Amino acid sequence: MTTITYREAVRAALVDALQRDDRVFLVGEDVGRYGGTYAVSRGLLEQFGPERIRDAPLSESAFVGAGIGAAIGGMRPIVEIMSVNFSMLALDQIVNTAATLRHMSGGQVSVPLVIRMATGAGAQLAAQHSHSLEVWYAHVPGLRVVAPATLADARGMLWSALQDPDPVIVFEHVALYNDKGELPEGAGAVDLDRAAVRRPGRDVTLITYGGSLPKVLAAAQTLAERGVEAEVVDLRSLRPLDDATITASVRRTHRAVLVDEGWRSCSLAAEISARLMEQCLYDLEAPVARVCSEEVPIPYPRHLEQAALPQPERIVAAALATMGGR
Amino acid sequence: MTTLDREPALQRLHEMVRMRRFEEKTAELYSDGKIRGFLHLYVGEEAIAAGLMPLLGAQDNVVSTYREHGHALARGVTARAVMAEMFGRVDGCSRGRGGSMHLFSTAHRFWGGNAIVAGGLPLAVGLALADAMRGRSAVTVCFFGDGAVAEGEFHESLNLAALWRLPVLFACENNQYAMGTALERYAAQPDPCRKAEALGVPARRVDGMDVEAVSQASAELIAAVREGQGPRFVEFATYRFRAHSMFDAQLYRSKDEVERWRERDPIASFEARLRQRGWIDDAARAAIDAAVASEVDDAVAFADASPWEPVEQLLRDVTTPRAAP
Ligand SMILES: Cc1ncc(C[n+]2csc(CCOP(=O)(O)OP(=O)(O)O)c2C)c(N)n1
Ligand SMILES: [Mg+2]
């Protein structure tokens, strides 16, 4: 076991990919000389050179589109977009090109592209740098969307994503980069298809992903102290969703609380809630509950930012409410 | 070059010192935790805002970026309102909701710090379009960095403004870097003026470290735009003395390079010039420092005394309240 941060785990995954496959290269704004906006790629320029660690101009649409072109041309690009907010400038290339080429070409052209981007709030970066727009991409057929929430997934998902023949978007929540923990030696690729039960429990299922996982685990701990055994499901894959793991858990616990840093309306939580209605309505003993961000652009001051986001206390309260307010 | 008269020259010096001290204070306050989030300082680039902004009238529009404290102050937004905004307090110019990167003041037709690089350019085109369609003689000045020139929105906006002959002055603050990437490392054609010209917008390069050069060139360009000659592009060659934001190890440039530019400090060099002209002495210079120090102290005290917005108001200002039917 080695002690490592989430940031270092992502970096280790990048190094591994660059060493194992000479078609892999990293491109994005300030990935090279600056060392990466969140210092993820620090040192890689020195190690792999400017051909494979490419600083891009402020041209999100162009360098994402170039990543798509390089992917269909036989490379395995990893495109880094500084934040999901800036990925809006590349939305056309991601949604209208990357996601559609395979289908429009009648199956001739696959796009083995990996796009990494930071997401989420918590650092008081205000309303143009803090949003969780994962669901925009999870809406789109042709894309695969994953959200590593643990060190093992930060280390393992990148390689798995590179093995995927289709575009994969990897969301790294900014609040996770400094998380520290143990990573087994030789940790490697992981299964991208399955959600994971991060804590077993029999009374209520808490379903979440990405940066909300630590908050949900904290809530589960509080609930345990109050005699409620919560099961915590980490979605890991936001598209496709692992219905089997989600519904199996809810069938056991009969209660579900969905925790999602996206806004409630049209959220991933909304989608999962609909699936629970479709697939296990008669197993439920309480209405499905959702803890999402408040419907406001993320405000700058800390107290308002924190009030806008899901918090352990709100998760605990929602879980207790499904238990009849115990 | 024609020089400024004595009074305006002293005012420009005062304004630059004011911006500098204000921002140096905010850097301290950042370390104290009073200011959070991203903080992008304008230190080194003050001559641009100080030289250009006094040429604008109340009807004119200003569109800015996340590096906009100097723009807002020079436009007339009070130091109190800017500081309170950076503290996140309710008396801030954006009620605390925006912070350092999102200063707004409609009273000053200051249409925001925009933290999406190049995001302000289309907005400026639209403001100018409205003025043109309403027959107003206003000018819209749009500030952006050199990095923005790489974005599609730069090209699309200049083309549109030229095509429709709109009254926009596109003011590129070329501080040689987009975050940690040097201009020559991200632009195959590193001369932004040639790009503007290619899009049909007459362009001019100006020394952005010299407040008098900025002032003179801007006056000519603004006059041309106001007369209805269509948009103009100006590149102010400048340099940021400090890190890109407070999270920047500055691995991408040498201390020597920073030192070389610091020798051309817009404040020190202008002060030396004014001393040569005999327009300022030690006492007058000390008086500027004292006035600025007390204004900044007052702004900090004001910001610190301003309340936090109650959490109950979290959801306000998402949409516009409707009058009751
Ligand atoms: C669309 C978009 N992409 C990336 C960023 C991240 N970012 C913020 S400032 C910046 C550098 C911009 O450089 P420049 O336009 O030269 O302005 P300067 O900071 O030098 O004043 C970058 C890459 C952003 N805010 N918006
Ligand atoms: Mg710049």
As a dihedral over the C-alpha atoms of residue B79, residue B84, residue B88, residue B92, rounded to 10 degrees, the angle is: -80
Give the bridge partners for A263, in sequence order. Answer: A293
Over the stretch A260-277, which tens digit does the pLDDT of each residue have? Answer: 999 999 999 999 999 999
By the 8 A CB rule, do B100 and B37 touch? Answer: yes
By the 8 A CB rule, do A13 and A161 touch? Answer: no
Q: DSSP labels for B58-94?
A: TT-EEEEESS-HHHHHHHT--HHHHHHHHHT-TTSTT
CB burial of B82-114 (b: ≥16 within 10 Å; e: otherwise) equals: bbbbbbbbbbbbbbbbbbbbbbbbeebbbbbbb
3-class secondary structure for A67-119? Answer: HHHHHHCCCEEEEEEEEHHHHHHHHHHHHHHHCCHHHHCCCCCCCCCEEEEEE
By the 8 A CB rule, do A53 and A77 touch? Answer: no
- Please give the distance, rounded to the nearest whole angstrom, from the Cα atom of residue A13 to the centre of ligand 2: 31
- Please give the distance, rounded to the nearest whole angstrom, from the Cα atom of residue B240 to the centre of ligand 2: 8
CA-to-CA dists, residue A288 to A232, A256, A272, B251, B308, angstroms? 15, 5, 10, 50, 34
Give the bridge partners for B144, in sequence order. Answer: B172
The tokens 């204070």 sit on which residue?
Answer: B25
Q: DSSP labels for A27-40?
A: EETTSSTT--TTST
Q: Which residues of A touch B309 (CB under 8 A)?
A: 301, 304
pTM: 0.94
Over the stretch B125-159, which tens digit does the pLDDT of each residue have? Answer: 999 999 999 999 999 999 999 999 999 999 999 99
Is A139 catalytic? The answer is: no
- From B91, B71, B90, B72, select the one nearest B81 (Cα to Cα): B91
User: What domains can you pick out in chain A, each with its CATH number?
Assistant: 2-183 (3.40.50.970), 196-322 (3.40.50.920)
Which residues lie at CB < 5 A from ion ligand 2? Answer: B 145-146, 175
**Which one-letter amino acid corresponds to residue A166?**
D
Is A60 catalytic? The answer is: yes
Residue of A8, A29, A80, A129 with catalytic role = A129
What is the percent of chain A where pLDDT is above 90? Answer: 97
Over the stretch B48-90, which tens digit does the pLDDT of each residue have? Answer: 999 999 999 999 999 999 999 999 999 999 999 999 999 999 9
- Please give the distance, rounded to the nearest whole angstrom, from the Cα atom of residue B278 to the centre of ligand 1: 41
By the 8 A CB rule, do A23 and A75 touch? Answer: yes
Q: Using a 6 Å cutoff on CB, does residue B187 contact ligand 1?
A: no
By the 8 A CB rule, do A144 and A168 touch? Answer: yes
Dihedral (CA of A225, A226, A228, A233) sign: negative
By the 8 A CB rule, do B61 and B269 touch? Answer: no
Q: Which residues of A touch B148 (CB under 8 A)?
A: 58
Instruction: Give me the mean pLDDT over the A194-222 stretch.
Output: 98
Question: Of B88, B147, B180, which has the smallest distance from its Cβ to A301's Cβ?
Answer: B88
pLDDT at A269: 98
Residue of A8, A60, A231, A271 with catalytic role = A60
- From A302, A88, A118, select the one nearest B37 (Cα to Cα): A302
Separation CA A263–CA B115 (nearest Å): 21
Count of beta carbons in the 10 Å neighbourhood of residue A321: 16
User: What domains can you pick out in chain B, each with its CATH number?
Assistant: 6-301 (3.40.50.970)
pLDDT at A267: 98
B187 touches chain A (CB under 8 A): yes
Separation CA B86–CA B96 (nearest Å): 7
ipTM, two decimals, is 0.90
Q: Residue A326's pLDDT band (boundaries 50, 70, 90)? A: low
Separation CA B325–CA B320 (nearest Å): 15
Over the stretch A106-143, which tens digit does the pLDDT of each residue have? Answer: 999 999 999 999 999 999 999 999 999 999 999 999 99
Question: Of A89, A295, A301, which has the smallest distance from its Cβ to B96's Cβ?
Answer: A301
pLDDT at B292: 98
- Please give the distance, rounded to the nearest whole angstrom, from the Cα atom of residue A147 to the centre of ligand 2: 32
Q: Residue A188's pLDDT band (boundaries 50, 70, 90)? A: confident
As a dihedral over the C-alpha atoms of residue B308, residue B86, residue A176, residue A317, rounded to 10 degrees, the angle is: 10
- From A68, A72, A119, select the one nearest A90 (Cα to Cα): A68
pLDDT at B247: 86
As a dihedral over the C-alpha atoms of residue B86, residue B91, residue B94, residue B99, rounded to 10 degrees, the angle is: 10
- From A273, A228, A270, select the one nearest A250 (Cα to Cα): A273
> Which chain B residue lies closest to A306 (C-alpha atoms)?
B311
Is B252 in contact with A34 (Cβ distance < 8 A)?
yes
By the 8 A CB rule, do A138 and A84 touch? Answer: no
By three-state DSSP, how is residue A178 classified?
A: coil
- Taking chain B (325 residues) in runs of 10, the rounded mean pLDDT of each run is 92 98 98 97 98 98 98 98 98 98 98 96 96 96 98 97 98 98 97 98 98 98 98 98 93 96 98 98 98 98 98 95 81
Q: Using a 6 Å cutoff on CB, does residue B183 contact ligand 1?
A: no
Q: Residue A185's pLDDT band (boundaries 50, 70, 90)? A: confident
Separation CA B66–CA B297 (nearest Å): 23
DSSP B160: H
pLDDT at B324: 76
pLDDT at A187: 83
What is the residue with the minimal CA distance to atom 21 of ligand 1? B145
Over the stretch A72-94, which tens digit does the pLDDT of each residue have? Answer: 999 999 999 999 999 999 999 99
Is A296 in contact with B318 (Cβ distance < 8 A)?
yes
